[in-house]
A and B are shown apart, each in its own frame.
Chain A
Amino acid sequence: MNEAILIRSAAIEGGDTADILIEDGRIAEVGTGLSRSGARTIDANGLVALPGLVDLHVHLREPGFEASETVLTGSRAAAAGGFGAVFAMPNTNPVADTAGVVEQELALGEAAGYATVQPIGAVTVGQQGERLAELGAMARSKARVRVFSDDGSCVWDPLLMRRALEYVKSFGGVIAQHAQDPRLTEGAQMNEGVVSSELGLAGWPAVAEESIIARDVLLAEHVGSRLHVCHLSTAGSVDLIRWAKKRGIDVTAEVTPHHLLLTEELVRGYDARFKVNPPLRREEDVLAVREGLADGTINIVATDHAPHPAETKATEWAGAAHGMVGLESALRIVHQTMVETGLLGWPDVARVMSTTPARIGGLAGHGTPIAAGQPAELTLYDPSAGGAFSETDLAGRSTNSPFFGRTLPGSVRWTIHRGYATLADGELVDLEGARA
């Protein structure tokens, strides 16, 4: 798998074209007219070369929920979407709240080989929000955990949140908060507003997200800690983060591709493919998160890839599971919502989908520039391609995508991870076969 690869005439981050020579898992050279005998040559004419994408927020479901996804199937989905690294949320069974579980996840990712699988540790034991998990043990484990989150649940107890923010400072960690006031969202089914009032679905009000963000940025300021806000979804949240950054608070924020594109109007048909937490919001919110991502208030795009088996979606709305798969569609959605609209250029896409997520997560070997001597983590994307998104575009175990039938621009053609191709000309590489 350590063959040399010569990528010819790729537009580096959408700019000047150059050849990229990859050898021994590193970028050996970037320049024009490169040659290397025996190298596998990729004609990248018309393709944009991006640093391998990094997703700070995915659910790989293993251990415990292998009917939805496994580390192997989820990292195949990652490779199909152009990702070289994913951060796996800890809401597995058992919960990833000990060194043992995070090391197991790390090992499964290494064995799969499609992407770096970096475990995220739970903040509290069993994600129960009662007492701190062994954050230090996870940080010092082989998995080198730096991001901690109770994602799916909010660390609601303000004192516990304060302690967590303080505690992770000793190893440069960050708390990634799923901002949702549990009392304000009991039984919540969709964004609270015009549509929920009409459909008779229990509302998930914007204030339930915003009040937690407001509290958390103030806590982070008070104790001088670093906070990351997961899947921010409302215009008010963007304003709060903007205010906090202006004040010098060490906060970063992410937005999902689906919150950049979809609105609550889609809930009208009660099709549970559109059920997600936080919920799809209003058009105004979609425009506000795009603007926030464009002006740097929101630092990164993360998918919140959340696989669920079909039967958990083919049911009445209230009984359906929350969540959408998103790895395979992420770059194309960002292309449509941010690049085609002129809000971001390709170097910005590299920043919000690779460089910055790797930096926030403290992950070495990813999000590095396309330059000689750097790790060979690359994504080659064809911006002129496109078509209707369908089940055949998915590579994971579950098919709960909200994007089926939508015409999306672009196509991820190649994913290079640690110097070898995991996606070759749009087809997943059979790594097991290659190793055998």
Chain B
Amino acid sequence: MRHLLDTRTLSREHAIRILDVAEDMADTQEREVKKLPTLRGRTIVNLFFEDSTRTRISFEAAAKRLSADLINFSAKGSSVSKGESLQDTAQTLEAMGADAVVVRHGASGAPRTLASSGWIDAGVVNAGDGTHEHPTQALLDAFTMRRRRYGADSRGRDLAGHRVTIVGDVLHSRVARSNVWLLDALGAEVTLVAPPTLVPQDVTRWPAKIVFDLDEAIADGPEALMMLRIQTERMTGSFFPNEREYARLWGLDPVRFRALPADTIVMHPGPMNRGLEICAEAADSTRATVLEQVANGVSVRMAVLYLLLAGEHAGSDDKEIR
């Protein structure tokens, strides 16, 4: 794997390969000593132009457990805030010896620009770009669903026939986009639920069903219900009247939660707005996978970094692995 920029172009086989390697990584995390020597001597840069403590520390944990050297580069307070370009920042980091760059950027497509511009040789992992994609989040979500469904027998399997309902601000959600493509590649059936103002303008070619009524979607009894975070800046953009109405119509309140089939899992990429898109009863129930998603995130990111830097497509670099 040269880069991981999106799930739009990820094949079923490739996705299953990443999820299977993530299973191996998860197994190693059951051991007393969690650290592996695999990426010793390799340098990974966390290049974050946008604050995201959760994603950053997840990649950080993944890199450290693979014994890679990790540099955290936060754009805030750095030369970027003084107007340094993406090109100069990336090239500076590569000059310091970065083998892989994990990039979070507020602009859609910035990781692709970094990977295709010829500015750097390092592999690029998209850790969330604007309102485009967040591929490792979708991979960890799929990993979580697969584990909940198949347990120890997950390896090699896809999510054929798995019905997944994603609720919330699809328009601005990179998590939703990455999930739609990946879940489709894995054979799952996706339903998106949102106020019409928060559905992208033309989703006719998306492999997903669109519904506006959450109760209708819940009555369908999906295997997984994923609640998206509603950003505070949407409150003022006339996307919906106010947060009370949003919670009333599109929030997972106790009544809706209890209406779900007993084995439906409740997912959330975090951080949660309790009482807005998700009630405490749902968030704290055993059917909620929020913390599992966090733990699985480390395994999935270990798998991605491993495949990027030590995987079968890393070519001549293989001999350096000890």
A residues sitting closer than 8 Å to B (CB atoms) are: 189, 192-194, 196-203, 205, 269-272, 311, 314-319
Cβ of B252 within 8 Å of any chain A Cβ, yes or no, is: no
Cβ of B261 within 8 Å of any chain A Cβ, yes or no, is: no
Contact partner of A314 among B117, B205, B206, CB < 8 A? B117
Inter-chain contacts of A314 with B (CB < 8 A)? 85, 87, 117
Q: Taking CB as reference atom, which chain B residue is nearest A193?
A: B202
| 28 residue pairs A–B, Cβ–Cβ below 8 Å | A192-B201, A197-B202, A197-B203, A198-B8, A198-B200, A199-B108, A199-B132, A200-B129, A200-B130, A200-B131, A200-B132, A200-B177, A201-B109, A201-B132, A270-B109, A270-B110, A272-B113, A314-B87, A314-B117, A315-B113, A316-B107, A317-B109, A317-B110, A317-B113, A318-B106, A318-B107, A318-B109, A319-B86
A233 to B204, CA, bound (A): 23
Known pairs A198-B8, A269-B116; A319 contacts B107 (CB<8 A): yes
**B side interface size, CB within 8 A:** 28
Identify the 6 closest CB pairs spanning chains A and B, nearest first: A270-B109, A197-B200, A200-B132, A200-B131, A318-B107, A316-B107
B residues sitting closer than 8 Å to A (CB atoms) are: 8, 85-87, 105-110, 112-113, 116-117, 129-133, 174, 177, 200-206
Inter-chain contacts of B206 with A (CB < 8 A)? 197-198
Inter-chain contacts of B85 with A (CB < 8 A)? 311, 314-315
A205 to B113, CA, bound (A): 24
Inter-chain contacts of A194 with B (CB < 8 A)? 202, 204-205
Pairwise interchain contact B109-A196, C-beta atoms closer than 8 A: no
Pairwise interchain contact B200-A196, C-beta atoms closer than 8 A: yes
A270 to B130, CA, bound (A): 13
Q: Taking CB as reference atom, which chain B residue is nearest A189?
A: B108
Known pairs A200-B131, A200-B174, A311-B85; A317 contacts B202 (CB<8 A): no
Pairwise interchain contact B113-A316, C-beta atoms closer than 8 A: yes
Pairwise interchain contact A270-B112, C-beta atoms closer than 8 A: yes
Inter-chain contacts of A203 with B (CB < 8 A)? 201
Pairwise interchain contact A318-B205, C-beta atoms closer than 8 A: no
A192 to B110, CA, bound (A): 19
Pairwise interchain contact A315-B130, C-beta atoms closer than 8 A: no
Inter-chain contacts of B205 with A (CB < 8 A)? 194, 198
Q: Taking CB as reference atom, which chain A residue is nearest B49?
A: A316
Inter-chain contacts of B8 with A (CB < 8 A)? 198
Inter-chain contacts of A271 with B (CB < 8 A)? 113, 116
Q: Taking CB as reference atom, which chain A residue is nearest B112?
A: A270
CB distance from A402 to the nearest CB of B (A): 16
Inter-chain contacts of B177 with A (CB < 8 A)? 198, 200
Pairwise interchain contact B201-A197, C-beta atoms closer than 8 A: yes
Pairwise interchain contact A200-B108, C-beta atoms closer than 8 A: yes
Contact partner of A318 among B87, B130, B200, B204, CB < 8 A? B130
CB distance from A185 to the nearest CB of B (A): 13
Q: Taking CB as reference atom, which chain A residue is nearest B130?
A: A200
Q: Taking CB as reference atom, which chain B residue is nearest A317?
A: B109
Inter-chain contacts of A202 with B (CB < 8 A)? 131
Pairwise interchain contact A205-B201, C-beta atoms closer than 8 A: yes
Q: Taking CB as reference atom, which chain A residue is nearest B8?
A: A198
Q: Taking CB as reference atom, which chain B residue is nearest A201?
A: B108
A409 to B192, CA, bound (A): 47
Pairwise interchain contact B109-A199, C-beta atoms closer than 8 A: yes
A62 to B108, CA, bound (A): 32
A318 to B105, CA, bound (A): 11
Inter-chain contacts of A196 with B (CB < 8 A)? 200-202
Inter-chain contacts of B131 with A (CB < 8 A)? 200-202
Inter-chain contacts of B130 with A (CB < 8 A)? 200-201, 318
- Count chain B CB atoms within 10 A of each CB in A199, A202, A315, A318 and give the residue with the most: A199
Inter-chain contacts of A315 with B (CB < 8 A)? 85-87, 113
Pairwise interchain contact A269-B201, C-beta atoms closer than 8 A: no
CB distance from B166 to the nearest CB of A (A): 15
Q: Taking CB as reference atom, which chain B residue is nearest A272?
A: B113
Inter-chain contacts of B108 with A (CB < 8 A)? 189, 199-201, 270, 317-318
Inter-chain contacts of B129 with A (CB < 8 A)? 200
Inter-chain contacts of A269 with B (CB < 8 A)? 112, 116
Q: Taking CB as reference atom, which chain A residue is nearest B114?
A: A316
Inter-chain contacts of B87 with A (CB < 8 A)? 314-315
A194 to B204, CA, bound (A): 7
CB distance from A223 to the nearest CB of B (A): 33
CB distance from A218 to the nearest CB of B (A): 26
CB distance from B136 to the nearest CB of A (A): 16
CB distance from B113 to the nearest CB of A (A): 5
Inter-chain contacts of A199 with B (CB < 8 A)? 108-109, 132
Inter-chain contacts of B116 with A (CB < 8 A)? 269-271
CB distance from B167 to the nearest CB of A (A): 18
A125 to B10, CA, bound (A): 52
Contact partner of B107 among A197, A205, A317, CB < 8 A? A317
A76 to B203, CA, bound (A): 45
CB distance from B117 to the nearest CB of A (A): 7
A269 to B85, CA, bound (A): 19
CB distance from A434 to the nearest CB of B (A): 41
A203 to B205, CA, bound (A): 17
Pairwise interchain contact A270-B200, C-beta atoms closer than 8 A: no
CB distance from A191 to the nearest CB of B (A): 10
Inter-chain contacts of A319 with B (CB < 8 A)? 86, 107
CB distance from A315 to the nearest CB of B (A): 6
Inter-chain contacts of A311 with B (CB < 8 A)? 85
CB distance from B3 to the nearest CB of A (A): 13
A315 to B108, CA, bound (A): 12
Pairwise interchain contact A316-B86, C-beta atoms closer than 8 A: yes
A197 to B132, CA, bound (A): 9
Q: Taking CB as reference atom, which chain A residue is nearest B176?
A: A200
Pairwise interchain contact B110-A316, C-beta atoms closer than 8 A: yes
A317 to B130, CA, bound (A): 11
CB distance from A176 to the nearest CB of B (A): 29
Q: Taking CB as reference atom, which chain A residue is nearest B201?
A: A192
CB distance from B198 to the nearest CB of A (A): 12
A315 to B203, CA, bound (A): 28
- Count chain B CB atoms within 10 A of each CB in A192, A198, A314, A318 and give the residue with the most: A198
Contact partner of B113 among A193, A201, A270, CB < 8 A? A270
Inter-chain contacts of B117 with A (CB < 8 A)? 314
